[in-house]
Amino acid sequence: MAKATLEQWRMFKAVVDHGGFAGASAAVHKSQSTVHHAVQKLEGALQVKLLEVKGRKAFLTDNGKLILRRAEFLIEEASKIESVASTLSEGIESTLKIAVDEVFPHSILYQALAKTSELYPLLKIDLVESVLTGANELLSNAVVDLAISSIPVYGISCTKLCDIEFIAVAHKDHPLHQRVEQLNFHDLKLHRQVVVRDSATYTSHNEGWLGADMRWTVSHLRNSIDMVSQNLGYAWLPNTQISHLIEDQTLKALNLEQGTTRTLNLYLMCNDIARLGPAAQEFKKQLIALTNFEFA
């Protein structure tokens, strides 16, 4: 049998996190003597000194530092088990939170949401549009249940959905289309590029050529499409969202020596597939099926 209880491990971690027994007591809503007793029992059961108290502060011993890393993993796994049990006991989740990279085809997304809502009509959908690593950040911070992103995260559930082709385009009357010779990157530097900002708060990731001296940075893909359509610059834009503008000749692909197109892979990710409720599982199934059909 285990010599220590999960509650003792949690109190030990609380003491470390809050720098002493007083702070831990307030954090776990237990008396200071209860927390102190729990840590003492833990040290006695393990026969290892975990903390040294100096004044009102508690400091990890070398052995305590080593054991804390293992304890944090244990506490995190226990939290996951409790979360899964909570999902099972409650049945269908009330809200499904999804972060979606703006380049993902809207028609597929909406169909998957509609099919899921047919089975779970009371399900609330919380949809967050993101760019580049924005979806990853929301998933990492547990703000959303699922994320569609172009930046895969290894070590979690990650399923490739599709490849999105980007095309370098400008308005049909843009000066870049007046040149007979193929365009190089020096030619592009003489004109304004419109780029979309990474929506993540704490990280930043760039995609596409960003060498233009004149550059407008916007927060949403639709702003970039509008600006290029109004002859305010050129950009690499997803073919799925501008094909109608190319067909009606509002936009034209730039005649580049190289790099006219590029491909962005999109992935569906979740931190722990076992923690997804039945509605989230259904949405995941529908999204993958619809994407496979569309991009087959």
Beta bridge partners of 149: 267
The whole-number average pLDDT for the span 43-47 is 88
pLDDT at 1 over 80: no
> pLDDT at position 176, please?
94
Residue carrying the six token digits 């197109």? 261
Q: Give the mean pLDDT of the chain.
A: 88
CA distances from 27 to 4, 31, 35, 57, 227 (A): 21, 10, 11, 15, 51
Distance CA 141, CA 291 (A): 27
pLDDT at 132 over 60: yes
CB 152 within 8 A of CB 158: yes
Nearest to 182 by CA among 256, 258, 253, 259: 256
Q: What is the pLDDT of residues 225-256, one digit of tens each?
A: 999 999 999 999 999 999 999 999 999 999 99
Which amino acid is present at 217? T
CA distances from 117 to 28, 90, 100, 128, 282 (A): 39, 18, 18, 17, 10
Six-digit token string for 99: 């972060």
Which has more pLDDT, 287 or 214? 287
pLDDT bracket for residue 259 (50, 70, 90): confident
Which has more pLDDT, 87 or 131? 131
**Cβ-based burial of 144 (10 A; exposed 0-12, middle 13-18, buried ≥19):** buried
Give helix 32-46 / helix 21-28 axis angle, nearest 10°: 110
Total-model pTM:
0.69
pLDDT at 125 over 90: yes
CB 288 within 8 A of CB 146: no
pLDDT at 204 over 80: no
pLDDT bracket for residue 89 (50, 70, 90): low
Distance CA 275, CA 283 (A): 14
